[in-house]
A = this chain, B = another copy of it.
Amino acid sequence: MMDTRTKLAIEAGFLFQQKGYHGVGISEVLERAGVPKGSLYHHFPNGKADLALAAAEIAATEVLRIIDASFDQAGNYANGVTTFCYKLAKYFDIHEGKIGCPVSATLLGGPDNAAFRDALSGIFARWMGRIADYAMQFGQSQQEAEQSAKRLFLSLEGSWTLARARGDSNVIRQLPGLVC
């Protein structure tokens, strides 16, 4: 079985991604996780904020996993990007178009403090770094690779937003044609 702490963070993650930090009530998380009220503060002493940071971290790692799965067996950078975008689009559809960037909604929507901003920019840096690594593996110079990664990342963030506004994941699928 999954331990209580992880279960809470995962359920919270789904909800935060859909409705944003302030759009989700603790009770809702607890109910979905099947965990009683008082338990949360045992595992997350700082409450909702801790929960959001943990949820973001889990989502961030999951995205890294998807990046790896997309690029590991790609023949070249463009193929990797395409697989990556298709996987994300599928993920978007599974959640009925209600989910955007899994960390922006959670952390940018939350309290405006250094811990949240640092966590967010750290996660973004890790994502771009990983993509750049693959770009270099496929022959790009470091500078080119960083440009490519940044171009992909920025457009991807935008696509998540536009896809949600439209309720349509095709924006994400069309991304490779736009940035490669």
A interface residues, Cβ below 8 angstroms from B: 18-23, 98, 100-101, 104-105, 107-109, 112, 117, 120-121, 124, 147, 150-151, 153-159, 161-162, 164-167, 171, 175, 178-179
Contact = CB atoms under 8 A, between A and B. Distances in A.
A164 B105 CA distance: 12
Contacts of A117: 164-167
16 contacts: A18-B112, A20-B108, A22-B22, A22-B23, A23-B109, A101-B161, A105-B109, A108-B164, A117-B164, A117-B165, A120-B165, A151-B155, A154-B154, A154-B155, A154-B171, A154-B178
Contact of A156 (B104, B108, B151, B158): B158
Nearest to A167: B117
Nearest to A152: B158
Contacts of A162: 121, 124, 153-154, 157
A79 to B, nearest CB: 20
Given A120-B165, A165-B117, A109 B22 contact: yes
A125 to B, nearest CB: 9
A154 B171 CA distance: 10
Nearest to A24: B22
A13 B152 CA distance: 30
A96 to B, nearest CB: 10
A154 B155 CA distance: 5
